[in-house]
Chains A and B, each alone.
Chain A
Amino acid sequence: MPNLLEVRDLKTQFFTSSGTVRAVDGISYDVEEGETVALVGESGCGKSVSALSILRLIPNPPGRIVGGSVRFMGQNLLDLNDEGIRHVRGRQISMVFQEPMTSLNPVLTIGLQLTEMMELHLGLNNEEATRKAAEYLDMVGIADSKRRLKQYPHHLSGGMRQRVMIAMALCCEPRLIIADEPTTALDVTIQAQILEVMKDLSQRLGVALIIITHNLGVVARYADRVNVMYAGKIIERGNARDIYKNPRHPYTLGLLHSVPRMDLPRKEKLDPIDGQPPDLTKLPEGCAFRVRCRYEVEKCGVEVPHLESIGTGHLSACWQKNDLHNAAAGVSS
């Protein structure tokens, strides 16, 4: 199957008074038609920036996409003019944001915020758009949708608002939805509901999904393929099984050790990663993870390891990737 989205060597930087923030530092990944891809990493590693870069939503100034390409159905989105990218936004690729409480406009009705997109992108008249808006609200599990359309965001709970955001993301029948930590701001029971709705609808409608998260549980359950990010780079890629059972980057390994697990004895101590993520304005020579790494060798300080294959579809950017085999055995059981 051809790739729906091909991100190649994407670089986005912020030019601030305290230096150049290399938020996304040359990442490449693919999304196939209808597939769910996860982007995982700790806070500040550049997940949101990489997502916003795809739709060119980086605030400029201070930010700018400085290199690479984003091919969507063969077309490089970075080459499009303003009108061109406008036709992609919301219509071909839509986004669900991290903060449901602030991502809807407080002074406009839910109905208007849904219908305006459909009127613009699909050329529907107001009546048709309103009818479809109600359908989509039903679809994402909002009861009493006719009345909800006339309400304002403050009438809705956080979980409801995120459902509205999902309805908005779906309503123009896009090919790809980028969900940037769609459940981080919600409580656990709601999180599961929202993720189920998204997974279910994207499968039913055949929409590809990029899920950004720092929750490895989410990844295991919903993603076909996983990209692990660290300091603006993808440092490991594989299917969910590879990442869980056979991690080949010390950072992935550390992430897995940092999560409490029900299936291990309670006495087993958590083993979090030491230290802080690096300052993206002054990335060190060599591997960015080196200072926090237990498997460091001399080469790590000299040369940046690149993503290289260790099996079918499983890649790691670590000089020690082949020796991590034994270490990994500890986590998988």
Chain B
Amino acid sequence: MYKYILKRILLMIPTIVGAAVIVFFLLRAIPGDVCELRMAGSGLYADPEAIKICQQNLGIDQPLYIQFFDFVWGFMTFDLGESMWTGKSITEEIGLRFELSLQVAIMATLTATVIAIPLGTISAIKQDTWVDYVVRIFSIAGIAMPSFWLGILIILGLLIATQKVTGTPWMPPIEYTPIWVDPFANLSQLVWPAMATGYRYSAVATRMTRSALLEVLREDYVRTARAKGLFEKLIINRHALKNAMLPVTTVIGLEFAFLMGGLVVTEQVFNLNGLGKLFVESVLNSDYTVTQSLVMLVAVVFILTNFVIDILYAWLDPRIRYA
């Protein structure tokens, strides 16, 4: 087991390096220059001298390989540098937003898992009964409905409901408060986007749980468990679910990683200042340093999530643990 974990950790290194190379050179291949954008973005004439000085200041006149090693070195020493656009420290810029996005992603994941595993299980056990149909409609609706649209519905619903009940419409706060400062204010802002994204997420995971369990229930060893005279509950919980959880873990993990960087539109709807928003801004501004840092951050989140999934796999499946 320890050998397996060590192997997985070592495997993360080349993956991260690979991601760094791709990000760095792909970004440079996109046309656009942050200095030109900064000075001539509004359509005015920009002095070529001034642009040159700006480029020198930012270091983007240097040969690419030097820039690349700067980037890698900075990344390894956790010094992400400053934004080429605003000049602010990137660690700070990302820090707060990372907190927000992470919290939404974790809340959505919890919601999804808590809903999906029982629903998917019931649906599989009661295959082709009305319970199964209700669950399937619930999950197909979740997959068909974009999160941002559901988000708009939630905000509208909140406005209308609070207007009806209290007389004054209420909307989730726009200002982000960290959860340890004021849990109530924090949750009253973030519960809604977590619900909006969590629904789709749980729909995907429910379908996965259902189909994985249905497959496992046809396995010979489940028949053996029945033939042994075990309780149906024990057969499902001990013999079937543990096997069915393998693909479900993958889906849950990958969705989580996706939420960490991919919530662009939903963040707009709820007016959240998260990673998604920063992503779009930095790309539009050709702000290499910020985009790079963000992509690397998301890459690391993906890699870590995959690592956790691998560990869970090994924990669930002895064939991997002892390989």
Contact = CB atoms under 8 A, between A and B. Distances in A.
A108 B243 CA distance: 10
Contacts of A94: 227-228
Given A107-B316, A107-B317, A97 B223 contact: yes
B4 to A, nearest CB: 15
Most buried by B among A87, A91, A97: A97
Contacts of A88: 229
A57 B319 CA distance: 28
A102 B219 contact: yes
Contacts of A152: 318-319, 322
Interface in A50-91: 55, 57, 59, 82, 86-91
Contact of B228 (A99, A102, A107, A117): A117
Interface in B274-299: none
B235 to A, nearest CB: 10
A87 B229 CA distance: 6
Nearest to A91: B229
Given A105-B239, A108-B238, A57 B227 contact: yes
Most buried by B among A82, A87, A89: A89
A97 B228 CA distance: 12
Contact of A117 (B218, B230, B232, B322): B230
Nearest to B225: A105
Interface string A109-125: 00000001100110000
Contacts of B254: none
B229 A105 contact: no
B243 A116 contact: no
Interface in B99-130: none
A261 interface: no
B249 to A, nearest CB: 13
Nearest to A61: B128
Contact of B227 (A55, A107, A154): A55
B230 A99 contact: no
B318 A97 contact: no
B226 A89 contact: yes
Contact of B224 (A59, A86, A103, A121): A103
B11 interface: no
A108 B316 CA distance: 9
A106 B224 contact: no
Contacts of B319: 106, 152, 154
A168 interface: yes
B229 A57 contact: no
Q: Is the interface of B mostly helix, strand, loop or mixed?
A: helix
B227 A89 contact: yes
B121 to A, nearest CB: 17
Interface in B181-226: 218-221, 223-226
Nearest to B246: A107
B52 interface: no
A168 B316 CA distance: 23
Contacts of A116: 228, 230, 234, 238
Contacts of B230: 86, 90, 116-117, 120
A99 B220 contact: yes
A57 to B, nearest CB: 6
B318 A105 contact: no
Nearest to B221: A105
Contact of B229 (A90, A102, A106, A107): A90
A155 B318 CA distance: 10
A117 B229 contact: yes
Most buried by A among B224, B226, B316: B224
B2 interface: no
A105 B219 CA distance: 9
B78 interface: no
Given A116-B234, A152-B318, A154-B318, A104 B221 contact: yes
Interface of B: 218-221, 223-232, 234, 238-239, 242-243, 316-319, 322
24 contacts: A82-B232, A86-B230, A89-B229, A90-B227, A90-B228, A90-B229, A94-B228, A102-B219, A103-B220, A103-B221, A104-B224, A105-B221, A105-B225, A105-B239, A106-B221, A107-B317, A108-B238, A116-B238, A117-B228, A117-B229, A117-B230, A120-B229, A152-B319, A155-B322
Given A89-B229, A95-B227, A116-B238, 12 more contacts: A86-B229, A90-B227, A97-B227, A104-B221, A105-B224, A107-B242, A116-B230, A116-B234, A117-B229, A120-B230, A152-B318, A152-B319
